[in-house]
Amino acid sequence: MEEKIEISILLNLYGNLLTETQKNYMDLYYNQDYSLSEIGDNENITRQAVRTILVKSKRKLYEYEQKLKFMEKENNIKKLIEIIQTSKNDSEKQKLLKKIQENLDY
């Protein structure tokens, strides 16, 4: 998965765990395609300061995913649903549904 897309998904899942500033800068950079300079100019800080905030925020998002694994579980569930939709075997569908339930049990 392309990193920008992955970060955007992680931001959607865990963004509320970041500070408002971190969340805002991450959204501007990863979702709205602002450059470091544009963010810096709008916020009256240096490009390097923006970069530092983004790097720390990105690290935090990956730490949250490493611990909570919401994105991984969501991807697993989506794959299982795709298999169920194409499967004609009812017993196989039941096994896959059980796996989905296991992924949903936090």
Mean pLDDT of all residues in 63-75: 95
Q: How many separate domains does the chain show?
A: 2
Cα–Cα distances (Å) from 21 to 1, 5, 12, 58, in that order, read 26, 20, 15, 13
Q: Are residues 7 and 49 in the same domain?
A: yes
Percentage of the chain lying above the pLDDT 70 cut: 98
More confident residue, 4 or 88: 4
Q: Are residues 60 and 84 in the same domain?
A: no
Q: Are residues 46 and 75 in the same domain?
A: no
Q: Are residues 56 and 76 in the same domain?
A: no
Range of the domain at 28: 3-67
Q: Are residues 59 and 77 in the same domain?
A: no
CA 18 to chain centre: 13
Q: Is the pLDDT of residue 106 over 70?
A: no
Q: Are residues 21 and 56 in the same domain?
A: yes
Record the pTM.
0.82
